[in-house]
Amino acid sequence: MILNKEKFRFNMEERHLHHLSASDVPISAVTVFNDRAEVTRRDIAVQLQSGMNEVILENVSKQIIPASIRVEGHGVALIHEVQLATTKMSSNETRPPRIKALDDELKKLEDEFYILQDKERVLWQKVETLDKITEQIGRAALKSSHDKPFSFSDDAINGVSKFFAFYEKNSLETRTRHRDASKQTKDVEEKLNKVKGEIDAFERGDKSCRNISVILEHKGAESERTVLLTISYQVTCASWFPTYDIRVQSDKENEHNMKLSYFGTIRQNTGEDWNNVNVVLSTAIPALGGHIPKLGTLQAEFKKVVPPSIKAAPYAAKRPMMALCATSESFMYDEMEVEPMVAEAKRDTLSTTFNIERPNTIPSDNSEHRITIAVLSFELFLLHETVPVKNPTAFLTAIVRNNSSYPLLRGRASIYFNNSFVCQSIIKAVSPNERFICSLGRDAEVKVTYKPLSQFTEQSGLIAKSLCRVHDQRIVIKNNKASDILLTVKEQIPKSTNEKMKIKLFSPEIIENVKISEKKPHDVLELPKIGAVLNEDHNLEWTLNLKSGEEKELVVKWCIEYPSTETIEFHEEFSRRTVC
């Protein structure tokens, strides 16, 4: 089918109109991006008349992006124009399928609600009747006792016992049924209010409808009137993000395996239900239109340091947050501790696309719907780690290599260890064959004791006096597990920032200094060596084997020498490469 780019003007009388309702033309495929989706309806069969024809696909999603509409066709016809029209919805026009379904559901819920209300009233009336009968019998017995003393004969006692047994059984049973009916009434009332809210939102909302118009010219033979159209367009109010379930199994024979369930979580509120469609998940940023973007000149220059304005100081004191963020084009709030899910993907040169094998149904309800991308099995090593200066707890860590062909995108992960839920964490972006680390939570069977710090200062030198501050820290580790473990203790060793300041490490003995250039490749999967190393951040990493039931005391001892005329202070810095 040919698209004619020339401009034509035709009178409405010259066109043969073909009206198609979007609800009657099923959606074939949906490609979901991070902030939108592309909806495709394939093989729309239309019987054209000779001459000009206008095919109108009525009542498509109100979230449609006009510039994104594309039409392809197969058959003998010429496409002259494709446009999007917005018209007012007439009072007698058919309501959208979802609203019609909600109308039907509302009627059913109202009937159920009234039936339960009637049942609730009848049961409570029965309870009140039983109580009144009991009260009347008691009054009759008291009244008879004034005329004649009440006789506790066997017949009287049996009669009273039978009545109270009857009352107890029926009263308790009726009250239980009344409570159940009350609970059911409340549940149905909640559903009823929710459906009413959705219908009211539609009634208050936009009453216009979006129609896609395709103008075609048919010049073929009578036998070639049928054409097949494929219409696709992008819509907002749709997105997806990756999530994971990570399950690690470990047995007494030290055999470990990890099963990672890779999910795409989709949320859409486009007004169109995606029923039994082929879903594609993509991290690409879709482009609108057919024009290539223009590039400006990228100039490099030295950053100019602007001294703070004195006049602005009082205002800055009143508004510290605004003063902090004013120099940045984008900012994040202090309370947002987790980075955005898609921040890692923005740095990728190539996009990632996942084709979901089975058709899926994603209703337009603005709820999260999870579909499976893949279930992967990984090889791993287990390692215990502790940073006692921050938290005297041993954490179990899995060192894993992504040996699959699937890239792992940054996303939220629920972690399970030996069928027990451990925690929720964030997985960074991991390429195929790349190594990554996954925390499996705390291990209470490994006890870490961070003893009180012992430090003292000595003075030396007759003319140029200097001070030597000695830092002696002892850490006790006990393995209460039934198996041996490999554990790495991480401790800070100060790094000198001045030639007058000298730092000496007495304990432990360093086996090697790890430089950034000597770091292991990302595809190498192995455990750390036994012994102590200083990593690229000048932090001590002391790895040791602990047998079952064994306890060890580690001594971290260092001193710092500096002139007696100076004062030492410590502050902690994080390099960018260590921040997730």
Report residue 210 as tokens.
Answer: 């979006």
State which amino acid sits at residue 545. N
- Neighbour order of strands in the sheet with 411-417: 368-378, 256-268, 238-250, 411-417, 420-427
- Distances, alpha carbon 478 to alpha carbons 473, 529, 547, in Å: 17, 20, 9
Report residue 249 as tokens.
Answer: 């199994």
Give the end-to-end CA distance of the chain in Å, rounded to a whole number.
Answer: 51
Say if residues 261 and 353 touch (Cβ distance below 8 Å): no
DSSP 412-431: EEEEEETTEEEEEEEEPPB-
Report residue 357 as tokens.
Answer: 């094998």
Helices (H), 29-96: none
Task: Please tell me the distance from the alpha carbon of residue 271 to that of residue 269, in angstroms, as a whole number.
Answer: 6
Q: Name the CA radius of gyration of the chain, rounded.
A: 37
Output the pLDDT for position 269. Answer: 92
Say if residues 233 and 210 touch (Cβ distance below 8 Å): no
Say if residues 283 and 409 touch (Cβ distance below 8 Å): yes
Report residue 437 as tokens.
Answer: 């680390």
The residue behind tokens 């997730």 is 580
Question: CA nearest 351: which of 38, 32, 61?
Answer: 32
The residue behind tokens 């936009």 is 206
Residues of the chain by 3-state class (helix, strand, coil), percent to 5: 25, 40, 35
Count the helices and strands in the chain (H runs, E runs): 4, 28
Low-confidence ranges of the chain (pLDDT < 50): 5-10, 302, 310-349, 516-518, 578-580
Helices (H), 76-96: none
Helices (H), 10-52: none
Question: CA nearest 211: which of 7, 70, 19, 29?
Answer: 19
Phi–psi pair at 82, nearest 5 degrees: -130, 125
- Distances, alpha carbon 510 to alpha carbons 161, 502, 506, 535, 539, in Å: 89, 17, 9, 11, 11
Q: What is the DSSP letter of 337?
A: -
Output the pLDDT for position 164. Answer: 79
Say if residues 580 and 508 touch (Cβ distance below 8 Å): no
Phi–psi pair at 401, nearest 5 degrees: -120, 130
Say if residues 272 and 22 touch (Cβ distance below 8 Å): yes
Task: Please tell me the distance from the alpha carbon of residue 279 to that of residue 494, in angstroms, as a whole number.
Answer: 53
State which amino acid sits at residue 185. T
Greatest alpha-carbon span in the chain: 121
Helix (H, G, I), strand (E, B) or coil at 150: coil
Output the pLDDT for position 253. Answer: 65
Task: Please tell me the distance from the alpha carbon of residue 150 to that of residue 3, in angstroms, as a whole number.
Answer: 105
Task: Please tell me the distance from the alpha carbon of residue 284 to that of residue 268, in angstroms, as a whole number.
Answer: 18
- Distances, alpha carbon 549 to alpha carbons 477, 483, 484, 485, in Å: 10, 9, 9, 10
| Helices 97-147 + 154-204 axis angle, to 10 | 160
Phi–psi pair at 103, nearest 5 degrees: -60, -45
Task: Please tell me the distance from the alpha carbon of residue 271 to that of residue 466, in angstroms, as a whole number.
Answer: 76
Q: What is the DSSP letter of 538?
A: S
Output the pLDDT for position 345. Answer: 30
* pTM of this structure: 0.66
Question: CA nearest 269: which of 103, 102, 35, 107?
Answer: 35
Contacts of 509 (CB under 8 A, 6+ apart): 531, 532
What is the CB-side half-sphere exposure of residue 540 using CA atoms within 13 A?
Answer: 24
Report residue 23 as tokens.
Answer: 């609800």
Peptide bond before 392: cis, by omega within 30 degrees of 0?
no
Report residue 112 as tokens.
Answer: 């159920």
pLDDT digits (tens, 9 = 90+) for 464-515: 678 888 999 999 999 999 889 999 999 999 988 888 889 899 999 988 765 5
